[in-house]
Amino acid sequence: MSALARYFKSQGLKVLGYDKTQTELTKQLEAEGCEIHYDDLGKELADEIKDLNEALVIYTPAIPAKMEEFKFLKSKEIKLYKRSEILGMLTRTSKGLCVAGTHGKTTTSSMLAHILDQSTWGCNAFLGGIATNFNSNLVLSTSSNWTVIEADEFDRSFLQLSPFASIITAADPDHLDIYGNADQFLEGFRQYAMKTDLSGVLVEKEGLELNTLAKKVTYSLNSSTADYSMNNLVWENNFLYGDVRLKNEFWQKVKLGIPGLHNAENALGCIALLNELGMSEQEIRNGLESFLGVKRRFEFHLRTDDLIYIDDYAHHPMEIKSLVESIRMLYPGKKVTGIFQPHLFSRTKDFADGFVEELNKLDELVLMPIYPAREEPIHGISSDWLLSKLSLKNKSLKSPSEVLQHFSNFNDGVVLTIGAGDIDRIVKPLKEILTSNSSL
């Protein structure tokens, strides 16, 4: 939503909006001239928007349907646009390069946008996270006809898009409160894959087997059957390197700017798409090496010999699996402590067994209360309940203030903050505590 706010502000329009809480991002938007309020104004919203019929109203389905402002706007019988509908309009007026998938789409779309931006091609981009290279989730170009868009499967939003080409990173079931079951979730991805432009290309993670009328290529790490594969991954001098096998080529020792096995796979998806579109090997290599990552995606906040602190947005069992496996590769033998805030009661209920399996792989777990977002509580589903299912011996449930106190003397090992809720509010104070500890 903030990328769209920035886009319309760049067009010289007045932008105002609501958010539940003030964050660093909303403060930045206010500094850029957007007007943001944090109270649900209901009917009083009319005092802020003098002529509703002249306003373009955009909302995200992530807000609760009972929100008073939302109910008021609907009662006025004016056209309300979903975020995805506006993005859909933009993909119909340019060549849309869309990135979909249950995991990895924010990092992959940001990486794709950076490679394009630093190349001779350029791009526009609407991203789902703050890309470090841009310090923004919006990239604008007056000369490029390419537009990178993160294609969100929530509420079937990605079906509003008209992609010229797409990367699909994963289709592990999620959002079952919306889709109902895993088959319907996968059906959403099948429909999305069929939307690829006939003159474009669909790049999909090997094994998804989604049909499309356009050209299709597959990618996967350490595969002998995918069209694109990356092998011989090594971690040297704080950089990840891998050999890339293309259909008829071999690129030796491609250097990646960010660590993590999952990010190597994200990079491979970008390589496949851009190679299919005709970008040169050198421009792709340059972009991958200089990519600095995305805020809250495997983001380092402290890195010393003894103490490492990483913040990550992982909120699905498979994302936690990728995160922990990457940490074990980078820091073998180090104690790994995870602070996890479950996101949504429904997701916690639907994937409890998966969360248990992956969280049990930590050396220590500090669990926080479930972040409800748009949901009402589900009887019997809580962090206490999830904690009771874990066999991990070193586990606890703590409030945000208790979490900070818990780490007051922590000075050795890897600390992870994990989750998509408001766990990011403890990142700065936790970083300060750990930084102080590391200097003692």
Does residue 182 register a pLDDT over 90? no
For the domain made up of 299-438, the CATH class stated in words is alpha beta
The reply to whether 299-438 shares the fold of 2-78 is no
Q: Across residues 191-199, what is the average pLDDT?
A: 96
Per-residue model confidence (pLDDT) at position 78: 86
The pLDDT value given to residue 377: 95
Q: Is there a contact between 268 and 228 (Cβ–Cβ < 8 Å)?
A: yes
Q: By C-alpha distance, which of 144, 83, 84 is closest to 112?
A: 144
Mean pLDDT, residues 82-102 taken together: 90
Where on the phi/psi map is residue 368: left (φ > 0), alpha (ψ -120 to 50), or beta? beta
Q: Sort 340 into a burial class: Cβ within 10 Å, 0-12 / 13-18 / 19+.
A: buried
CA 294 to chain centre: 8
Alpha helices in 360-416 (DSSP H): 383-389, 400-406
CB atoms within 10 A of CB 21: 8
pLDDT given for residue 438 in this prediction: 87
Q: Are 363 and 337 a contacting pair, CB within 8 Å?
A: yes
Residue 176 has pLDDT above 80, yes or no: no
Burial state string for 254-274 with b = 16 or more CB within 10 A and e = fewer than 16: bebbbbbbbbbbbbbbbbbbb
Threshold 0.75, pTM exceeds: yes
Residue 26 carries which side chain, given as an amino acid letter? T
User: What DSSP designation does 209 have?
Assistant: -
For the chain, give every domain's residue range. 2-78, 85-290, 299-438
The answer to whether residue 15 scores a pLDDT higher than 80 is: yes
| 440 has pLDDT over 70 | no
- In angstroms, the CA 411 to CA 307 distance is 6
Neighbours of 290 (CB within 10 A): 13
For position 328, what pLDDT does the model report? 94
Among residues 304, 300, 331, 310, the alpha carbon closest in space to that of 439 is found at 304
Looking at residue 105, its pLDDT comes to 93
What is the fold of 85-290?
UDP-N-acetylmuramoyl-L-alanine:D-glutamate ligase (3.40.1190)
Q: What is the CATH number of domain 2-78?
A: 3.40.50.720
User: What's the pLDDT at 439?
Assistant: 79
